[in-house]
Structure 1
Amino acid sequence: MKAILSDLLAEQSLVDTLVSDLSEEQWLKPLPVEMWNIKDAIIHIAFFDYAANKLMRGEAEDLVKLADAESGQDQYVRATNFHHLSGAEVLSWWREERTRMAASFYDKNPKDRIPWAPGLPMSAKSLASARLMELWAHSVDIYDALGLEPVVRERITSTLFLSWQARPNAYRINGLEMPETPLYLELTLPSGEIWAKGEPSAENRIKGSAKDWALVAIRRRNWLDTDLEVAGEEARRYAALVQTYAGWADPAPAAKRQR
């Protein structure tokens, strides 16, 4: 738990540095996400850090009801109740909420169950991993908007783990049953270390950089546009529908090339 929280705090600091010197005009820079700008992304992260803290503290029982009541969520999933804040005010608010959330995580046993997505309670440890994954996913949108290459550290393993752990849900939200076909996922971390899951002897296999796979798993890149090696029909299907986060099935970005 301490290791994941350390990773979460480090990623928060990295994203904080990314946006801390933005002008008010830059805060309104559009993202690749429809109708979102940079400020929307940080508002979203801040609100769900706030929600995570409330749920862990027992001050709320249902994430959807909390979001509906307090965020002003619109059809684009933007928390419109906070649009009046300046970029600097949003950043200050996020700093406060993520600090409160971290304190709540430190008070939890890693196996404590938190009522996160409807019908999908998470352990405190898994929720910390999910908050780290979502923060990195939205930071990728910001990097893209600013014309910068997304930064990937060794802590990307939390996102990789969720890509594998959430595989049954990815099939389910796409109206599919997860097959029993053996699959092997082998990824190279920034350090050069190998992170792997599944059956090494499987014919269906995905191999490549942790960065490429993580970008695919958060639905920010189409696997066809990466250097991933994807062999086998089932591996190609998994690469097409992998999704690390709960909710409806999001489409992958349109591929710029075929192979």
Structure 2
Amino acid sequence: MVDLTALLADLAAESEQLDALVAPLPPEAWARPTPAPGWSVAHQIAHLAWTDHVAHLAATDTAAFFASVTSAPDPSRLVDDGAEAFLAPPAALLDRWRAGRAALAAALAAAPAGEKLPWYGTRMSPASMATARLMETWAHGEDVADALGVRRTPTARLRHVAHLGFRTLGHGFAAHGRAVPAAPVRVELLAPVSAGSEPASPAVANKDDTDGDTWAFGPEDAADRVTGPALDFCLLVTQRRHRADLALVATGPVADEWLDVAQAFAGPPGGKRAAAGSGVPR
């Protein structure tokens, strides 16, 4: 069973880490471009605020959530339009993001056990929704850090992102129009060094990922395997780096193909980063 309280605490900690990075920035730094085409640092935070808002609707008012989807003038621009709608001067944007994420956490904590919340093309438990929000907060935080030239220290909270990346193997194939493989894949990841001093919460603890400094998912006897640093795996499944720039090793055809289509987020395939040295901005 997932410990939702612990999971929400990890989500709050991930949000606070990013908050601490952007809160002291001067106004001009909020306008810096990030790796997402057309998105500034402010767009990244506005996107998180907008997504928290629609997730809160999904948890508290399903009719309003579905109305927000069906009323979109251009569904293909739903995400971009959402970010644009939530843009504001830095102080106001920070207040909006802080209030929205607090409201969402309270709504998820109060959701009845076993309830499935509507989302884009799927339904999610409160725990899955919280995990998805943590994944997005970390991934968009990477975009902000890239824009600012900052290297963030990975934490044990990455285990949530890695676990979600593993669980969404089938989604990655389906989102790219490929048949979902039947063969299982074993994933063995080296935990971040900092994870040793920051114990992972019990929110994702299970028999498959309690190997000390190795986070493992999937059957031990699987012929297809992915190994490497947990940070690299998380960067791949959130499409923040090209696989050519990561120290991940795929053994077997399913594992190898998966690294080309891995996608931990809902929706259609994202715009993948180009490899370093390709001449295309990452």
Q: Fold-level match, TM-score > 0.5? A: yes
Query: Residue 202 of structure 1 corresponds to which residue in structure 2?
Result: 222
Residue range with higher mean Cα deviation, 8-17 or 246-255: 246-255
Query: Residue 6 of structure 2 corresponds to which residue in structure 1?
Result: 3
Partner SS state of residue 137, structure 1: helix
Query: Residue 207 of structure 2 corresponds to which residue in structure 1?
Result: none
- TM-score, normalization: structure 2? 0.83
Structure 1 residue aligned with 2:276, among 252, 256, 259? 256
Change (3 A) 1:5 1:139: same
CA distance in 2, matches of 1:68, 1:94: 22
2:184 maps to amino acid: P
Query: Residue 87 of structure 1 corresponds to which residue in structure 2?
Result: 90
The structure 1 segments of at least 4 consecutive aligned residues displaced by more than 3 Å after TM superposition are 73-78
Q: Is the 8 A contact 2:34 2:40 kept in 1?
A: yes
- TM-score, normalization: structure 1? 0.90
Task: State yes or no: 1:234 paired with 2:254.
Answer: yes
Residue range with higher mean Cα deviation, 215-224 or 144-153: 144-153
CA distance in 2, matches of 1:189, 1:9: 21
Deviation at 1:203, TM superposition (A): 3.2
Residue range with higher mean Cα deviation, 22-31 or 247-256: 247-256
1:174 maps to amino acid: H
Task: State yes or no: 1:106 paired with 2:109.
Answer: yes
CA distance in 1, matches of 2:58, 2:277: 43
Structure 1 residue aligned with 2:263, among 230, 243, 250? 243
Structure 2 residue aligned with 1:48, among 36, 48, 51? 51
Unaligned runs of 5+ in 2: 197-212
Query: Residue 147 of structure 2 corresponds to which residue in structure 1?
Result: 145
1:212 maps to amino acid: D
Deviation at 1:205, TM superposition (A): 1.4
CA distance in 1, matches of 2:277, 2:143: 21
Q: Percent identity?
A: 31
1:238 maps to amino acid: W
Structure 2 residue aligned with 1:166, among 157, 165, 168? 168
CA distance in 1, matches of 2:177, 2:220: 28
Change (3 A) 1:123 1:156: same
Residues 13-32 of structure 1, C-alpha deviations (whole Å, 9 max, x = no match): 10110100011100000000
Change (3 A) 1:17 1:75: closer
Partner SS state of residue 205, structure 1: strand
CA distance in 2, matches of 1:52, 1:95: 14
Query: Residue 20 of structure 1 corresponds to which residue in structure 2?
Result: 23
Q: Which fold has the larger relative contact order, with Cα–Cα distance below 8 Å and residues 6 or more apart in sequence?
A: 2
Query: Residue 33 of structure 1 corresponds to which residue in structure 2?
Result: 36
Residues 165-210 of structure 1, C-alpha deviations (whole Å, 9 max, x = no match): 1111111111111122332110122236211112323332111111
Q: Is the 8 A contact 1:115 1:122 kept in 2?
A: yes
